[in-house]
Amino acid sequence: METLDLIIDFHKNNPRQGPGSQQSTIKALQFLPQLTPQTQLLDVGCGTGAQTMVLSEQTPAHITAVDSSKEFLSILKHKVLQKGITNRLTVKEMDMEQLAFAPESLDVIWAEGAIYNIGFSRGIREWRPLLKKDGYLVVSEISWLSTERPQIVDKYWTEVYPEMGTIAEKTAQIEEAGYIPVAHFVLPESDWTSHYYHYYEANEAAFLERHSHSEDAKALVEENRQEMKHFEKYSAYYNYVFYIMQKR
């Protein structure tokens, strides 16, 4: 099995594919004006739709949820069918590097734990033309919480994600890209531990079993364990941060 397929298989049974929580999605929503049934909201890199479902419960907006993984999308499609909300929640396979929407057609673009795939600075620039005047872009992005940090942490994350930056750096990029930085907040640690890493551990054994303890499967589990250990030790230095910005 290809590495990406293994990663998808590891994550698909978990409630979410990145750190976050219902509470954090709701908190971010509170910085936006009241959404209406006319609101066009795009959820980019939706995964199996943890935040998509929260957005559909908390707002009357019309939501389009896109991701590049068919497997994740089929799980979300199932949830949407079960809830009977296909009339206002559309699920589509789409590459975030080629979002096929008309210019100035969206009121809100939402991306939790996903914009790193295109890169923060590129994503906020390329998606901007799709937003209507005064539209909102809401993303969560891993960020440094301090300009001073142990070299080992710096090296680890810079290798994983070269665009890792401080909140001040991200805020400057937001302004340069033509947005007003409306608000930002750091996710609580429980968004990683209880809502995300908990399921890493809970599903490890079944995952290894499914793949007959293959070398690749064991390597992925080991990598995940390292990532969790790293967080346990160094979470004072980095976290996901929600950035709420408005098109200027």
Q: How far is the CB of 215 from ligand SAH (least distance, A)?
A: 24
Give the pair of three-digit tokens for residue 57: 């419960």
**Which residue in 185, 29, 8, 186 sits closest to 110, CA to CA?**
29
Q: Which is nearer to ligand SAH, 22 or 235 (CB)?
A: 22
18 touches 192 (CB < 8 A): no
47: alpha, beta or left? (left if phi > 0; alpha if psi -120 to 50): left
Q: Does 203 bind ligand SAH (CB under 6 A)?
A: no
Q: Which stretch binds ligand SAH (CB under 6 A): 17-25, 122-130, 159-167, 228-236?
A: 17-25
The residue count for binding ligand SAH (CB under 6 A) is: 20
Q: 68, 90, 190, 203: which one contacts ligand SAH (CB under 6 A)?
A: 68
CB of 237 to ligand SAH, least distance (A): 21
The answer to whether 117 contacts ligand SAH (rule: CB under 6 A) is yes
Residue 24 as a binder of ligand SAH (CB under 6 A): the answer is no
For the window 172-201, what string marks contact with ligand SAH as x by the rule CB under 6 A? ------------------------------
20 is a site residue for ligand SAH (CB under 6 A): yes
Count how many residues are written for the chain: 248
User: CB of residue 51 vs ligand SAH: minimum separation in angstroms?
Assistant: 6
Taking CB atoms, the residue at the shortest distance from ligand SAH is: 47
Q: Decide: is 47 part of the binding site for ligand SAH (CB under 6 A).
A: yes
Determine contact, residues 178/58, Cβ cutoff 8 Å. Answer: no
**Residue whose CB is less far from ligand SAH, 68 or 149:** 68
The footprint of ligand SAH (CB under 6 A) covers 16-18, 20, 45-47, 50-51, 67-69, 72, 95-97, 112-114, 117
